[in-house]
Chain A
Amino acid sequence: MADDRVVGIDLGTTNSLVAYMGSGPSLAHPDAPGKSVFILPGEDGSNLVPSVVALDRNNHMLVGNAAREVLLTSPERAVYSVKRLMGRGVDDVREELKLFPFHLAEDLMPGEVLRIHLGERTYTPPEISAQILRQLKRNAERFFGAPVKQAVITVPAYFNDAQRQATKDAGRIAGLEVLRLVNEPTAASLAYGLDRKQNGTIAVYDFGGGTFDVSILKLKDGIFEVIATNGDTHLGGDDIDNLLIAVAVQDIAGDLGVDVRQHPEVVQQLRNAVIDAKIALSSRESAEIELELPEGKLYQRTITREMFEQMVQPIVERTLGPCRKALKDADLTVEQVDEVVLVGGSTRIPLVRRKVEELFARKAHTELNPDEVVALGAAVQANILAGGSAETQDMLLLDVTPLSLGIEALGGVTAKIIHRNSTIPASATEHFTTGVEGQVSVAIHVLQGERELAKDCRSLARFDLKGIPPMPAGFPRIEVRFLIDANGILHVSAREQRSGKEAEIKVQPSYGLTDEQVENMILDSYDNAEQDMIDRQLIEARNEAETILTALLKGRRNEAWAQLSASEQGKVDELESKLRRDMETTDYLGIRESIDELNEATMHLAELMMDAAVGGALRGKNMETTDVGEGPEAPHPIGKAEFS
């Protein structure tokens, strides 16, 4: 049963989280007593894992806060906001690269999956994301003390097929079975819906670190039916940061004559400074930006909220168009929307709230933490998929495909076969024939998008229908079935109807990894996992050694030390030196052996110390009936330390 736990993961542009929904006393969460759905914190106690991956000096992968430190000192050894690169080709990200310090591999071909330099190696975006997912998986496993193998992962509602597939691949690489990809705004509605079950129409405005989504849902007796969704997968808090950085860079060049762009680590510090200012301006009227520059120069600037709002207004305005489009697609007026929910860190900005409340002419809901609500919703969906509970038994999510699916027709135009905002799973069947005598294959180009011309839509895949029996032109009748599954991912199958033969389809995703590539990456990660495991063992062994040595230091100062015989004392001294020598090596097994020996040799000392302690505190009581506790709480001064 414990192995069946399904966690919910919000794989964000800026921060990632893992959450779980379940009940039982063992899951009581200190921060949310009685709550059945909660965030699983990391080792450092923090709910948010920054979506940053870095290599330390020993080429070990770091994720989260540790990686963020590296980003500040050696930006070339860290990657952040990798979500922006998921499922995209080199031509898509040219603009992006001007603002982000991604170092792409030099030999990339158009249409190839991106690879990013990190240390001596290059990694694809799904591999980088897999590192973040693996960290979240570890956090969950640490919390439960049991393996976690299945997850629901959220994606922006407006993610296309390639971006979804890339996210699913990342899960597989991280050793997670991805039971479902859920759209972020829809997940948020589940988290909100859990608390107050009521019917009506809600709009979810989700403005995150790198993406913007808006979804309009109809809630009816536990059914969450998405009516329309819209968004921009490249619009988020990152854009606000980049704008502030650009302004500051100009400012610094003008006032101080320093070209900051020549110093990547200073740019990173500037990025942190503007982010701090941006956050401060959500609760204060002004904020300071202070930055140490090369040659001992100092940049100082006060930004008032008014200046800030003037600067970012155009970015905030860009979110309103998708809102209006979603309303139009849903065939609803603003008055027909009963509630508006705000999701994503960028909705903390007062200007954003004002604009949304202005557009929808009502107060927006912000009761749930906008950083956590998506992960909580993912956990609710995970609970539904795992078989449900009393709380979720009536809940069912009916989502839609955000973009129309089409095929390229003669003249390079798009023929739509599944329209946007169709409830998924959705399907369409199309018939094709040949144009030339004896033609044995037909090429099909699958597209996603709303534009009239194929070249303006997103190319999903090109494939050849092969093995068509030679027949006169126009005679074969090939039936191709397109199916979008509940994850929003496309599947294609084909059949030649006159001969009844299954036509062979080789779908080559335009910007995706092949199954084989993903398999190789999984193997790769296993290799690394082994090295990671060894490193971890070593760290743990050294920690344990530190603990016993500290305890021994205390023991030597205790009066019990004098009660040991000279030979006992000599043995302890000798084994202590041996352990200290072993700690200098990387042989964790050797360290463990020395720890055990020292433990054995100090047993008598520990007993004497315990007797003294218990005797002093509980004079007259019988040892047998005294509860001395267990584990680290027990009065064994030199016991084995516990490590999780």
Chain B
Amino acid sequence: MRAEHFCGECGHVQPAEPTDFFSFFGLPRKLQLDESALEREFYTLSRKLHPDVYSRASAREQAWSLEKTSQLNDAYRTLKDAISRTEYLLQLEGIQLGEQSKTATEQARASGVEKRQTVPAELLEESFELNMLLEEAKMGDVDNNLRSQLIATRAGLTARLKTMQDELYAAWKQWDGGDSKATALMVDVLNRRGYLRNLVRDIDAVLK
């Protein structure tokens, strides 16, 4: 069910109602999404809702346009990115996100709660070795040997991130096909992905 954005009579902007981002665009809660169609819809709605269009309208319509456009922008920003779209859907489904997710990190930070660090089992050994390398790098100069080890590790991690993306797409397919158990898979992928990305970031910080 698509949210009502305009008056059926005059075509002008209507007040913003609380709505989820999928409904805002009249989309079902599915994850495989035609991103270029979403972009077209974003542009079409922007042309009609943007404050520029209402700069000479009444204060009431200006306020509605501002609210609606911020909703539109927030919705588009969330849905156009594969990861944030997945996280958002999981949230809507009331599913606790993994500790490593972006959202969980921000939330932990805002509430001041210490984050639990859970290392994914498959990465235990690798992450242990990497942490040794990183410790070494922090102690002193990064010599060529250490540098090439870090670069090699980084390449391995990046390749694994790519595989995870494919895992995520597979989980999307399941979810879109009506399999609600796919959410557990997605949480798992996002969690491992978040952890990996942090490792890559740590390497980049040293290599810089």
Cβ of A518 < 8 Å from any Cβ of B? Answer: no
Choose, from B70-78, B142-150, B162-170, the stretch at the interface: B70-78
Choose, from A352-360, A411-419, A522-530, the stretch at the interface: A411-419
Question: Could you mark each residue 378-401 of chain A with 1 if its beta carbon is under 8 Å from any beta carbon of chain B, else 0?
Answer: 000000111100000000111000
**Is A398 a contact of B112 with CB atoms below 8 Å?**
no
Shortest beta-carbon distance, A250 to chain B, in Å? 35
Cβ of B55 < 8 Å from any Cβ of A? Answer: yes
Cβ of A315 < 8 Å from any Cβ of B? Answer: no
Choose, from A103-111, A207-215, A298-306, A421-429, the stretch at the interface: A421-429
Q: How many A-B residue pairs have CB under 8 A?
A: 70
Cβ of B13 < 8 Å from any Cβ of A? Answer: no
Question: Could you mark each residue 184-207 of chain B with 1 if its beta carbon is under 8 Å from any beta carbon of chain A, else 0?
Answer: 000000000000000000000000
Within 118-167 of B, Cβ neighbours of A (below 8 Å) are at none
| Complex CA distance for A428 and B74, rounded to whole angstroms | 8
**Is A397 a contact of B52 with CB atoms below 8 Å?**
yes
| Complex CA distance for A223 and B48, rounded to whole angstroms | 12
Question: Could you mark each residue 168-203 of chain A with 1 if its beta carbon is under 8 Å from any beta carbon of chain B, else 0?
Answer: 000000000001100000000000000000000000
Question: Could you mark each residue 203-241 of chain A with 1 if its beta carbon is under 8 Å from any beta carbon of chain B, else 0?
Answer: 000000000000000001101000000000000000000
Shortest beta-carbon distance, B41 to chain A, in Å? 13
Give the residues in chain A near B66, CB-CB below 8 Å: 425, 483, 485-486
Within 31-81 of A, Cβ neighbours of B (below 8 Å) are at none
Cβ of A409 < 8 Å from any Cβ of B? Answer: yes
**Is B70 a contact of A426 with CB atoms below 8 Å?**
yes
**Is B73 a contact of A415 with CB atoms below 8 Å?**
no
Candidates A409, A426, A430; contact of B73 at CB < 8 Å: A426
**Is B51 a contact of A396 with CB atoms below 8 Å?**
no
Candidates B56, B67, B76, B109; contact of A415 at CB < 8 Å: B109
Cβ of A410 < 8 Å from any Cβ of B? Answer: yes
| Complex CA distance for A332 and B47, rounded to whole angstroms | 26
Cβ of B58 < 8 Å from any Cβ of A? Answer: no
Within 37-55 of B, Cβ neighbours of A (below 8 Å) are at 43, 46-47, 50-52, 55
**Is B74 a contact of A426 with CB atoms below 8 Å?**
yes
Shortest beta-carbon distance, B35 to chain A, in Å? 14
Residue of B nearest to A381 (CB): B52
Residue of B nearest to A491 (CB): B66
Shortest beta-carbon distance, B61 to chain A, in Å? 14
Candidates B56, B70, B106, B109; contact of A425 at CB < 8 Å: B70
| Complex CA distance for A64 and B166, rounded to whole angstroms | 62
Determine the main DSSP class of B at the interface with A.
Answer: helix
**Is A425 a contact of B77 with CB atoms below 8 Å?**
no
Give the residues in chain A near B74, CB-CB below 8 Å: 426-428
Given A409-B112, A483-B66, are A415 and B106 neighbors across the interface (CB < 8 Å)? Answer: yes
**Is A409 a contact of B111 with CB atoms below 8 Å?**
yes
Cβ of B86 < 8 Å from any Cβ of A? Answer: no
**Is A425 a contact of B110 with CB atoms below 8 Å?**
no
| Complex CA distance for A483 and B73, rounded to whole angstroms | 12
Given A385-B52, A486-B51, are A427 and B70 neighbors across the interface (CB < 8 Å)? Answer: yes
**Is B56 a contact of A387 with CB atoms below 8 Å?**
yes
Question: Could you mark each residue 478-497 of chain A with 1 if its beta carbon is under 8 Å from any beta carbon of chain B, else 0?
Answer: 00000111100000000000
| Complex CA distance for A427 and B73, rounded to whole angstroms | 9
Shortest beta-carbon distance, A574 to chain B, in Å? 58
Shortest beta-carbon distance, A500 to chain B, in Å? 15
Total contacting residues, chain A, CB less than 8 A: 33
Give the residues in chain B near A410, CB-CB below 8 Å: 111-112
Cβ of B183 < 8 Å from any Cβ of A? Answer: no
Which of B70, B74, B76 neighbours the largest number of chain A CB atoms within 10 Å of its CB?
Answer: B70
Cβ of B100 < 8 Å from any Cβ of A? Answer: no
Given A423-B76, A483-B66, A485-B66, are A430 and B51 neighbors across the interface (CB < 8 Å)? Answer: no
**Is B69 a contact of A425 with CB atoms below 8 Å?**
yes
Give the residues in chain B near A387, CB-CB below 8 Å: 56
Total contacting residues, chain B, CB less than 8 A: 22
Give the residues in chain B near A386, CB-CB below 8 Å: 55-56
Give the residues in chain A near B73, CB-CB below 8 Å: 422-426
Residue of A nearest to B43 (CB): A223
| Complex CA distance for A427 and B110, rounded to whole angstroms | 17
| Complex CA distance for A225 and B67, rounded to whole angstroms | 19
Residue of B nearest to A407 (CB): B110
Residue of A nearest to B39 (CB): A220
Candidates A220, A384, A414; contact of B43 at CB < 8 Å: A220
Shortest beta-carbon distance, B158 to chain A, in Å? 15
Give the residues in chain B near A428, CB-CB below 8 Å: 74
Which of B50, B77, B109 neighbours the largest number of chain A CB atoms within 10 Å of its CB?
Answer: B109
Give the residues in chain A near B111, CB-CB below 8 Å: 409-410
**Is A385 a contact of B106 with CB atoms below 8 Å?**
no
**Is A485 a contact of B76 with CB atoms below 8 Å?**
no
Within 85-112 of B, Cβ neighbours of A (below 8 Å) are at 106, 109-112
Give the residues in chain A near B43, CB-CB below 8 Å: 220-221, 223
Give the residues in chain B near A398, CB-CB below 8 Å: 46, 50
Give the residues in chain B near A426, CB-CB below 8 Å: 70, 73-74, 77
Given A387-B56, A425-B70, A483-B66, are A430 and B110 neighbors across the interface (CB < 8 Å)? Answer: yes
Residue of B nearest to A423 (CB): B73
Given A223-B43, A425-B70, are A396 and B50 neighbors across the interface (CB < 8 Å)? Answer: yes
Give the residues in chain B near A427, CB-CB below 8 Å: 70-71, 74
| Complex CA distance for A410 and B107, rounded to whole angstroms | 12
Give the residues in chain B near A384, CB-CB below 8 Å: 52
**Is A396 a contact of B110 with CB atoms below 8 Å?**
no
Give the residues in chain B near A221, CB-CB below 8 Å: 43
Give the residues in chain A near B67, CB-CB below 8 Å: 483
| Complex CA distance for A554 and B109, rounded to whole angstroms | 85
Candidates A411, A423, A425; contact of B51 at CB < 8 Å: A425
**Sorted from nearest, which 7 A-B pairs have the closest CB atoms?**
A410-B112, A425-B70, A415-B110, A427-B70, A385-B55, A423-B73, A415-B109
Residue contacts A-B, CB under 8 angstroms, 16 given: A220-B43, A223-B46, A385-B55, A386-B55, A386-B56, A396-B47, A407-B110, A409-B111, A413-B109, A415-B109, A415-B110, A417-B106, A423-B73, A423-B76, A483-B67, A485-B51
List B residues at the A interface (Cβ < 8 Å).
Answer: 43, 46-47, 50-52, 55-56, 66-67, 69-71, 73-74, 76-77, 106, 109-112
**Given A409-B109, A425-B51, A486-B52, 12 more pairs with CB closer than 8 A:** A386-B55, A396-B46, A396-B47, A397-B52, A409-B111, A409-B112, A411-B112, A415-B106, A415-B109, A422-B73, A422-B77, A423-B77
